[in-house]
Amino acid sequence: MPKGNRFRHQAYTDAPPEAPHHVLTPGTPPPVGSSEFRRRMEEVGAALRAAGVTAVYLADGSCVGPDAPRVLARIARAFPSAGPVFRRLIRRAGLAPKSVHYSEGYARLFESALNPPGAPRIPVRLFEWSNENHHLGRADGAVRLIRRLASLDPQRRHRVLLWGHGHAGNVFALATNLLGGDGDAIGRFFDAADVYYRWPLARCVDIPFWYRVRELLLGRGRLPADVKLDVATFGTPVRYGWESGAYGRLVHFVHRRVAEGQPLHQAPFPPEVDDVVEAVAGDYIQQLAVAGTNVRPAIAAWRARLADRRLGCLLERDLGGQDPLDRFRAGTIIPEEGTTLLVDYGLPQDGLDEHHAGHAVYTRPQWLLFHAEEVAKQLYSAKARQAA
């Protein structure tokens, strides 16, 4: 999307995308912790250091967060034929396996593998947000991310690699719109959410960091630290647009398996029960968690609910009166911006409750080396630097 995106939402269409996209079939990776794994991860670390990367932030998505049961329930209602499958996932959503998340252990493995003794250290940190599946939840995540970036040492330059699973990628997209937006667009965003962080009658601010970030973006126009962002998303459903002036490079990983005669760029519709159980077409959560699958804040949380509705009017204004079912039929899985890697990870060897309809593959340690090498290639190789 162009500079000056101003929170424009991506359209849903079955037309072939113009953004670059490639099919990859990774080979069998070496065992995690093996000498080959360590050697190749150290090479990735060297590429990141050469590009000036100073930190990696890992973030999870809301499809495995506290709203997972209600998200899956909405998808189940949209696809009655697949209802039994999603209801089974709903029953187990509160017991999601650790492999669906970026754990502390995953972050430590990632960091230790990037940093051989004596090399300048690239920390790998977990970035936590509420994981709530609505506009306000993701907006709050974006504001929190900017607050975190603003706390970096202002005396040095920073190049941060954002690594986001599921809707965490949409948190990053909103953050780029805030960081690269003009005063009018930023003002409308904070005005829409005003009732959430400031009492409507007394006008007193009771979530101070929202107000501080608002003043930072409207007053100074940039972060106090010299920060450049690169972004890698993993199984992020197509939702918000990106502000191309607020990041360096962008790559998306999408678990995609294509049957004969099926369009590469389009998810199958409607999903068949057996196919979802075996993740035949890849990541069904990425395919289905599009606009219309939000879970609104509780009625009792009326300020959050009102702010979410107002943010929806801003963030989904471009969708107009499109029927939600038409969005599913479009099968849009490739974003309009960045390079998308359609990765065939193969059929899962575990059950539905473990692979979560193909959505858990991105956080498995066995694929860390593959992902790290592809991120280094797509974002930090000589070819990538020339294209930037």
pLDDT at 88: 58
Is 217 in contact with 178 (CB distance < 8 Å)?
yes
pLDDT tops 70 at residue 172: yes
What tens digit of pLDDT does each residue of 219-271 get? 855 676 789 999 999 999 999 999 999 999 999 999 999 877 789 999 988 88
> 79: closest CA among 341, 269, 321?
269
Is 139 in contact with 174 (CB distance < 8 Å)?
yes
pLDDT at 43: 98
Beta-carbon contacts of 220 under 8 Å, excluding residues fewer than 6 positions away, are: none
What tens digit of pLDDT does each residue of 178-227 get? 999 999 999 999 999 999 999 988 779 999 999 999 999 998 556 767 89
pLDDT tops 50 at residue 94: no
pLDDT tops 70 at residue 145: yes
What tens digit of pLDDT does each residue of 327-369 get? 989 999 999 999 999 999 999 988 877 888 899 999 999 999 9
Is 381 in contact with 258 (CB distance < 8 Å)?
no
- Mean pLDDT of all residues belonging to the chain: 89
pLDDT at 249: 96
Higher pLDDT, 386 or 126: 126
Give the mean model confidence (pLDDT) for residues 283-312.
94
Domain segments of the chain: what residues?
21-387
Give the mean model confidence (pLDDT) for residues 59-65.
69
pLDDT tops 90 at residue 1: no
Helices and strands in the chain, H and E counts: 16, 7
> 79: closest CA among 287, 312, 266?
287
pLDDT tops 50 at residue 66: yes
> 281: closest CA among 270, 290, 289, 292?
270
pLDDT at 93: 45
CA distance 152 to 249: 20
pLDDT at 95: 41
pLDDT at 373: 98
Q: Where are the beta strands (DSSP E) in the chain?
A: 21-24, 53-59, 124-126, 157-165, 226-234, 250-255, 339-343
Q: Can you tell me whether residue 221 is helix, strand or coil?
A: coil
pLDDT at 74: 57
User: Which neighbouring-strand residues pair with 341?
Assistant: 22, 253
- For the chain, the 3-state helix, strand and coil shares in percent, each to the nearest 5, are 45, 15, 40
pLDDT at 353: 76
pLDDT at 276: 84
pLDDT at 194: 97
Is 129 in contact with 137 (CB distance < 8 Å)?
yes
Residue where the block lists tokens 């290639």: 377
Query: Side chain identity at 110, as an amino acid letter?
Result: F
- This prediction has a pTM of 0.92
pLDDT at 156: 87
Give the mean model confidence (pLDDT) for residues 156-184.
96
pLDDT at 96: 47
Beta-carbon contacts of 161 under 8 Å, excluding residues fewer than 6 positions away, are: 48, 53, 55, 56, 57, 230, 231, 232, 375, 379
Higher pLDDT, 316 or 79: 316
What tens digit of pLDDT does each residue of 260-271 get? 778 999 998 888
